[in-house]
Structure 1
Amino acid sequence: MKKLVVLTGAGISAESGLKTFRDSDGLWEGHDVTEVATPEAWSRNPELVQQFYNERRRQAQTVKPNAAHEILAEFEDHFKVTVITQNVDNLHERAGSSHVVHLHGQLFQSRSSIDEGLIYEMDHWELKMGDLCEKGSQLRPNIVWFGEAVPMMEPAINITMQADIFLVVGTSLQVYPAASLVQYTQTSCPIYLVDPKKPGGHFGRDMNYIEAKATDGMRQLKEILLKK
């Protein structure tokens, strides 16, 4: 089976009803990202940060995977698929994708605020101040905030280098370091980009553009790839 590697972004989850911080002048549900998604924000007002991510979890529980998520899961019948996602929701897993790499962390996980290796699965939406890890420190969202290192970037690069086909879905390739992944594809690897707007700039690789929302674009891409 050919190795199909997919980089997904906020656009694929937006069609399920999850809002993104790029929806409205950099505001995320009315908050500047620096208020809720940086280490400084956590130090300054951890209660606000907890409240913000609690609301994100509660909202995420009300939405379902869409056709784009489902088509990516269906591709596992035809390809060896790895999804590398910038999204923190679990919609890929819920749709049936079995190999998902989360670059920016996972919404339904918490972790120790003093030991980033202590990660806990969450089966509920609320993380409270006073919820502690086994070492006695406050639990925080297991999210890679702006200004923090992206620990899954190196594994994602290694996966990308082995791709026979590379897809980009629902991201305008503006967020780094994730956007740099296209540069690690082999020169013989075809790249398909599905997004309503063709991104500006040159990424060092030829790309096949499908200017459409994720669901419509993935339906088109399914026809193209399965014909091949």
Structure 2
Amino acid sequence: MKKKLVALTGAGISAESGIQTFRDADGLWEGHNVMDVATPEGFHKNPELVLDFYNQRRQQLQQVNPNRGHLILAELEDDFDVHIITQNVDNLHEKAGSSKVLHLHGELLKVRSTKNYNYILDWHTDLNFGDVDNKGNQLRPHIVWFGEEVPALEYAVAIVEKADILIIIGTSLQVYPAASLMNFANPDIPIYYIDPKPAQIYDLPNDLKIIAATGSEGMKKVQKDLEKLKE
């Protein structure tokens, strides 16, 4: 049986593909205050601005491709049972070929009803004010905004608890509750943490290997290391 490898990925892995992150720019995301475009209050105040913002992000996503970090994670499925838990709303893990991807913070290429959380549609074009669900309710981006619950968190915890190997890639470990997931790992498993500017990690009993590098460079090193961990 293949060992279960779980990867927690953040904005850093997608930054190499050209997708900007707001945390690198003092709370600005592509020139916008995060509170204006990534909160329920912002959407209520100016829905057209928010919809246009995500339309631009959706258009940008069509123009970028997975990088080596994404591709190595997909390649590892040959030897491991790979589960990816990502904070990212892009589809680059899927485009790279990964088959088990859990999006903690939603997906840019999906929309949902403002009244019914379970009414979710695939959406690859612009979403406009006036686009509604089957009961006439406005549609919104299928994104977990600040101040909203993370519905997939419980499922993510269950995945991490069963991991034989944990890899953390491209995250500042400042966004909760996602940052707390590593604390649910079995204390006996190895943890790799890849980031150009890795955060301080305290009180983890695990064998922790910190690799100060980009996702692509870090995953090349980890891929070699994992050769001896295959069953």
Task: Give the TM-score taking structure 2 as reference length.
Answer: 0.96
- 1:200 Cα shift? 2.3
Q: Is the 8 A contact 1:171 1:195 kept in 2?
A: yes
Q: Corresponding residue for 1:181?
A: 181
Q: Corresponding residue for 2:218?
A: 217
- 1:135 Cα shift? 1.5
Alpha-carbon deviations, 1:47-100, whole Å to 9, x = none? 000000000000010000000000000000000000000000000000000000
Q: Structure 1, unaligned stretches of length 5 or more?
A: none
Q: Corresponding residue for 1:33?
A: 34
- 1:39 Cα shift? 0.4
Please tell me the residue identity of whatever aligns with 2:66: P
Q: Percent identity?
A: 56
Q: How many residues align?
A: 227
- 1:224 Cα shift? 0.6
Q: How does 1:59-70 map to 2 (within 5 A)?
A: 59-70=60-71
Q: Is the 8 A contact 2:84 2:101 kept in 1?
A: yes
RMSD over equivalenced CA pairs, Å = 0.9
Alpha-carbon deviations, 1:147-171, whole Å to 9, x = none? 0000000000000000000000111
Q: Corresponding residue for 1:149?
A: 149
- 1:125 Cα shift? 2.9
Q: Corresponding residue for 1:200?
A: 200
Q: Describe the SS at the equivalent of 2:145.
A: coil
Q: Corresponding residue for 2:92?
A: 91
Q: Corresponding residue for 1:4?
A: 5
Deviating more after overlay: 193-202 vs 9-18? 193-202
Please tell me the residue identity of whatever aligns with 2:82: V
Distance in 1 of aligned mates of 2:203 and 2:63: 36
Deviating more after overlay: 214-223 vs 194-203? 194-203
Q: Structure 2, unaligned stretches of length 5 or more?
A: none
Q: Is the 8 A contact 1:84 1:102 kept in 2?
A: yes
The ranges of structure 1 where at least 4 consecutive aligned residues each deviate by more than 6 angstroms after the TM superposition are: none
Task: Give the TM-score taking structure 1 as reference length.
Answer: 0.97
